[in-house]
Copies of this chain bind each other. A is one copy, B any other.
Amino acid sequence: MTRRAYNRLSQDRRRTDLLEATLTCVADLGLDRAGARQIAERAGVSAGLIRHYFPSKDEMVRAAYAYLMGQMTAAAEDSGAGDALSPEAALAEVIAANFAPPSLSGVKVSLWATFVGRVRVDPAYADIHREGYREFLDLLEARIHPVLVAQGCPADPARCKHLAIALNGLIDGLWIEGSLGHGLYDARRLPAIALAAAEGILRLPDTTLTRHLALEDERS
């Protein structure tokens, strides 16, 4: 029997190919059915190669989780940091970005949930999760503070942190249910719902954040 033709790829390229194939398989099949052979096939590679890049399949899955979280937090940190926006617009953009593609994605939520299911059991997953959560919390806090001072609201660190925790909860919960697409309501209303709720949580005047909705629609 003749061997399969193949071409050598750079280490980094092959590695991320494997990681992305892992994510695709986990999202499509679930953690239990995402076997080494299927991941390798999806990456266009034979199964034995996995052990050449990762000490074990479990470690590869862990690395895939870290890879996913890295992508997501990087995307979050990019949003609302572009030009010199007003503090209110920047905060609104960070919030609203979670309710439009690519953040709003059934695949991403499936992966996120699958991995979160292991946080309690596997310390490595717990570390990755904690790190991602902390980064997003810090980002929110940094975006909240200037808005509060600009609006003349109390902005002591303790209050900012509590508000960031609440805002993060709101975003997470809405993002999950919205991305799952259960069809109980129109997901296109999520940005408006989220921004209005954020206004309330921060005790800002009406339309302080929601008035930046139309701008984003025009820009896209």
- Taking Cβ atoms with an 8 Å cutoff, the residues of A that contact B are 27-32, 106-107, 109-111, 113-121, 126, 129-130, 133-134, 137, 161-163, 165-166, 168-177, 180, 182-185, 189, 193-194, 196-197, 200-203
Residues of chain B lying within 8 A (CB to CB) of residue A28: 121
- A192's nearest neighbour on chain B, judged by CB, is B162
Extra contacts besides A116-B180, A170-B170 (18): CB < 8 Å? A29-B121, A31-B32, A31-B117, A110-B116, A110-B120, A113-B116, A114-B114, A115-B117, A130-B183, A165-B177, A166-B196, A169-B174, A169-B176, A170-B173, A170-B197, A172-B172, A173-B176, A200-B203
Question: Roughly how many angstroms separate A107 CA and B129 CA in the complex, as a whole number?
Answer: 16
Q: A-side binding surface: helix, strand, loop or mixed?
A: helix
User: In whole Å, how far is A187's beta carbon from the nearest beta carbon of chain B?
Assistant: 11
Residues of chain B lying within 8 A (CB to CB) of residue A137: 184
Among B106, B114, B118, B182, which residue has its beta carbon within 8 angstroms of that of A130? B182
Residues of chain B lying within 8 A (CB to CB) of residue A110: 116-121
Question: Roughly how many angstroms separate A185 CA and B31 CA in the complex, as a whole number?
Answer: 30
Residues of chain B lying within 8 A (CB to CB) of residue A32: 30-32
Among B161, B173, B184, B202, which residue has its beta carbon within 8 angstroms of that of A172? B173
- A34's nearest neighbour on chain B, judged by CB, is B32
Among B31, B134, B171, B182, which residue has its beta carbon within 8 angstroms of that of A184? B134
Residues of chain B lying within 8 A (CB to CB) of residue A172: 169, 172-173, 176-177
